[in-house]
Structures are given as C-alpha cells and as structure tokens.
C-alpha cells in the first residue's frame, strides 16, 4: 500500500510526461466506493409511491397502444391517452417540487399500419430531462426507460382490460420514481427519464426515440448517449419459485450495430464479450456491490430471453450501450393474458402478483447506476493498444476524458475467460501506460476517475499498428 501511494505521487509528478510504466503488483480496487449523496438518495425511493403509481397505471383499464386517446377517453380515465396525460402530469409535479429542474417533453409520431398496427396510429413517448449542472458535461446523457403500453391475450384488442401491472407498469414506475428522487440531486451529466409506448406492437416508441437521439447526435457532435437502462417486467412476480434477492441484467455480446470491420476485429481478437452494453452490465454489477440496493444484479450474457425482445434493442440497433432489467423468474400466466381463472389457474397481469418492495429495490439499483454514471467523468476517448512491435509488454494510449472531470485514469484487465474485470491499476493523470502484461493473454480497458472516485464506463482499446 505504501508502495502504491508512492507510485501515485510519482505518477502525479510525471503528469507533464503523461506516460507511465506499470509493474502489476500495486493495484487499486476494482470495486467502486459508495458516494454518500447517492446512498442518501436511494433511501428516498419508496415502495408505497411505486405501489400508488402502478395502481394508477392499472386504473386506466387498458394501455394498449391501439386503445382510445381522444379527449373524452382521457376525461373518462380509460385508455392509453389517459395514461399518457397522467405520466406527463406526474413528471411535471416532480419538476415543480425541484423548482422546475426538469423539462417534461413528449415525442409524438404517426406509425403507419403494420402487422400489429391495423391503422395509422399516433404513438407518444413521455420523458423528463434533468439537465446536467456542468456545461461541458450536460450533453452527455444517461437514460432509464420502461414501456407504459400494455396488452392482453390479443395484441389487437383495443378495448378489453389489459392491466399490465408488471409488464410494464413496474418499469414505468421505475422511471417515475428515479425521476422523483434523482431530480433532487445535482450531477454534471444529463439524465433522461423515459416512458415509451408501442413496445407490444413492435418496439415502435423506443425505435423512434433512439433514432431521434442518433439524428440529434449526428447534427450536434457534442451530444452522446452513454447508457440506457431498460426496465421491463421488474415486478418480482410472487410465484413460489421467485428469487426476490436478484434481478437479471441482459446485455448483447456482438453489437447489433457492428460494422464488417468491427466483426473482423471481434472474431480475430476475442471481442465477443466486450460490447458497450456488456461494459454497462459490468458497471451495474459493480454498482450492485458498492450500494445496498436490496437486490443483486445477475448478469446474463445474451441480448434477451428466448424468443423475446425489448426496448433496449432499439437503442442497440443505433449503436448505443443498452441493457434490460427483468425479474429472475417470470410467470407466463401473468403476462400477455386476459384476466381470468381457467382450470383453477389465475391468468392476467394483475396488481396482486406484484411485489412493490422488489420494484423499489430494482429502482434503487437503477438510480444508483444513473447517478454514478452522471456524476462520473466521460469515458476516455480514442483508447488504443499499440501493436506495431512484437513484445510482451502492453502499451495503451488514450485521449483525456472530454469535459474536464477526470483527475486520473485506471487500466483494467481480466483473463480472456473471465466474465468481469479482475484488476485495476491507477496510472495517475496520464494518457499512456505500459503494462508488464502481454496483451495476448488478457483483455484490457481504460476508465476515467474524478477526484471523488466516481468511475466512468471502461473503454476497451482498439489495436493500433
Ligand atoms: Zn414488456
């Protein structure tokens, strides 16, 4: 440890040279330390508030994307239009409580007929933007989403009851509760709390939103969406075999948006488990160890469950890091079913099957992840691994984390067979480090760290000849 501190001072004094050579004996923790402010915010997350919000969502009878959204149905409180207006009013109320700290917006568009949309239908996403407090970092975005539309046995049923308490009243409630609690915090980067529609008709809302973000980024270079947390079926269905101590986090391996060149590199160097989404999943595992959310993330290294999809995929398709949270064990009698009893079996996505304490724990894990990322520096840019010479040391280079929050950097590595980062080496405020390890034997990454110890997402280097 003494050696380590000495090394830190030594590297700091070399800041001008901005390059270090590292033995691999002295290492920093791979585990993040808890930020007391974030820990305090997590205690504000309330299972009672979540219960009230899911009950309210179910009270709209159906939230089918194809259901009524005219003035009369909104006034009568039935259909997706009424749900949309209530979510908007709820976000606005949270914003009022923090002195107008959030901008509440809608993203409306007309979806032309498809297999699951019989006639042209207006689809509206509702979201609140908590703008980052630091001008140089406010264009960096982290986002949490859930879908507020629901369905019953028939995707095309426009008027029959479709309570959608778990799928996805629970995920919508996570976005709402994260907004209510995190809006009281001040963090340098921007957080978006999103609720989308059209998920059950073919991910229409999230697709439109992800494309919109991509277009905005193309026009305005400073913008970046660093992470998307999709919560879909996080109600902790009260079946006997449920494990309420864990939540699954699904992440894609080979990125949906990989180019031919990316695929060649992934094949050649063993990059199948190093997509941006997978780094985000590992980050969530780290957050789960640093904070006591009451539920532990179980990483599932696959895009989604068999034959199922979700809104995170819309973001993956646009090249963004996005993961899906889902309860450990789903009860398929309680999803996509008309509410009924048949041969003694209860069907339907009803309130009675939802565990509100569990949803609150999942919301805490989400809030801790969002706040940690939004408080952290941007990831380092243009991370490279020098491969021109055949040698057994490994030299990494990178550009400083944009936005000026980074105080120092850490080089991470793990065995090629390991699921998570195993080692972290603080290399000070450098932009180049030589590790006494062969790049052929391990996988490397670099992350930025601020003065308070907030860590960025890690970036795996690309080879440079
Ligand atoms: Zn769903």
Along the 465 residues of the chain, how does pLDDT read in single tens digits? 333 333 343 343 344 345 667 655 445 666 778 999 999 999 999 999 999 999 999 999 999 999 999 999 999 999 999 999 999 999 999 999 999 999 999 999 999 999 999 999 999 999 999 999 999 999 999 999 999 999 999 999 999 999 999 999 999 999 999 999 999 999 999 999 999 999 999 999 999 999 999 999 999 888 899 999 999 999 999 999 999 999 999 999 999 999 999 999 999 999 999 999 999 999 999 999 999 999 999 999 999 999 999 999 999 999 999 999 999 999 999 999 999 999 999 999 999 999 999 999 999 999 999 999 999 999 999 999 999 888 999 999 999 999 999 999 999 999 999 999 999 999 999 999 999 999 999 999 999 999 999 999 999 999 998
240 HSE (CA, 13 A, CB side): 0
Distance between Cα 150 and ligand 1 center (Å): 8
Distance between Cα 92 and ligand 1 center (Å): 25
For the whole model, what pTM was predicted?
0.94
Distance between Cα 168 and ligand 1 center (Å): 5
Of 377, 369, 371, 372, nearest in space to 429 by CA: 377
Distance between Cα 137 and ligand 1 center (Å): 32
Q: Which residues surround ligand 1, an ion (CB under 5 A)?
A: 167-168, 232
Q: Do the Cβ atoms of 395 and 433 come closer than 8 Å?
A: yes
In angstroms, the CA 263 to CA 282 distance is 22
Distance between Cα 303 and ligand 1 center (Å): 15
Distance between Cα 233 and ligand 1 center (Å): 6
Provide the H-helix boundaries in 321-397. Answer: 356-375
Q: Using CA of residue 112, residue 305, residue 459, residue 268, what is the dihedral sign? A: negative
Distance between Cα 59 and ligand 1 center (Å): 18
Distance between Cα 381 and ligand 1 center (Å): 35
Distance between Cα 167 and ligand 1 center (Å): 5
Distance between Cα 147 and ligand 1 center (Å): 7
Distance between Cα 307 and ligand 1 center (Å): 13
Distance between Cα 176 and ligand 1 center (Å): 16
In angstroms, the CA 191 to CA 130 distance is 5
For residue 60, the SS3 value is coil
Distance between Cα 298 and ligand 1 center (Å): 19
Distance between Cα 200 and ligand 1 center (Å): 7
Distance between Cα 188 and ligand 1 center (Å): 31
Both structure tokens of 20 = 């270090």
Distance between Cα 309 and ligand 1 center (Å): 8
Distance between Cα 144 and ligand 1 center (Å): 14
In angstroms, the CA 119 to CA 112 distance is 7
CA angle 205, 278, 35 (to 5 degrees): 95
Distance between Cα 99 and ligand 1 center (Å): 33
């Amino acid at each position: 440890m003494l050696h380590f501190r000495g090394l830190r001072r030594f590297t700091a004094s070399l800041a001008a040279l901005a390059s270090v050579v590292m033995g691999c004996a002295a290492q920093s923790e791979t585990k993040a330390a808890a930020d007391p402010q974030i820990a305090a915010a997590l205690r504000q997350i309330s299972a009672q508030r979540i219960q009230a919000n899911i009950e309210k969502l179910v009270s709209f009878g159906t939230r089918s994307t194809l259901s009524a959204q005219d003035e009369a149905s909104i006034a009568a409180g039935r259909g997706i239009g009424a749900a949309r207006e209530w979510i908007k009013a709820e976000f606005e109320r949270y914003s009022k409580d923090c002195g107008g700290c959030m901008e509440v917006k809608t993203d409306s568009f007309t979806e032309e007929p498809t297999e699951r949309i019989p006639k042209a239908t207006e689809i509206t996403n509702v979201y609140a933007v908590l703008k980052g407090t630091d001008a140089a970092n406010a264009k960096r975005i982290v986002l949490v989403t859930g879908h507020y539309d629901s369905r019953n046995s028939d995707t095309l049923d426009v008027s029959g009851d479709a309570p959608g308490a778990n799928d996805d009243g629970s995920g919508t409630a996570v976005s709402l509760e994260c907004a209510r609690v995190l809006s009281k915090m001040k963090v340098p980067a921007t957080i978006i709390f999103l609720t989308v529609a059209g998920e059950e008709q073919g991910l229409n809302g999230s697709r439109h939103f992800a494309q919109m973000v991509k277009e905005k980024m193309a026009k305005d270079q400073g913008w970046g969406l660093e992470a998307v947390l999709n919560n879909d079926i996080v109600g902790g269905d009260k079946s006997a075999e449920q494990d309420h101590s864990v939540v699954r986090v699904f992440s894609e391996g080979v990125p949906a948006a990989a180019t031919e060149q990316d695929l060649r590199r992934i094949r050649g160097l063993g990059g199948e488990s190093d997509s941006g989404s997978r780094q985000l999943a590992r980050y969530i595992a780290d957050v789960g160890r640093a904070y006591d959310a009451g539920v532990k993330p179980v990483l599932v290294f696959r895009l989604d469950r068999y034959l199922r999809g979700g809104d995170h995929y819309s973001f993956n398709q646009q090249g963004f890091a996005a993961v899906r949270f889902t309860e450990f064990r789903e009860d398929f009698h309680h999803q996509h079913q008309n509410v009924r009893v048949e041969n003694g079996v209860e069907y339907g996505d009803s309130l009675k099957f939802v565990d509100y304490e569990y949803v609150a724990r999942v919301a805490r894990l989400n809030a801790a992840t969002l706040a940690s990322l939004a408080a952290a520096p941007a990831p380092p840019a243009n991370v490279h691994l020098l491969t021109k010479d055949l040698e057994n040391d490994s030299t990494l280079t990178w550009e400083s984390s944009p936005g000026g929050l980074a105080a120092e950097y850490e080089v991470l590595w793990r065995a090629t067979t390991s699921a998570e980062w195993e080692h972290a080496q603080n290399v000070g405020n450098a932009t180049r480090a030589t590790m006494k390890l062969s790049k052929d034997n391990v996988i490397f990454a670099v992350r930025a760290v601020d003065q308070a110890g907030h860590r960025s997402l890690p970036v795996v280097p690309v080879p440079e000849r």
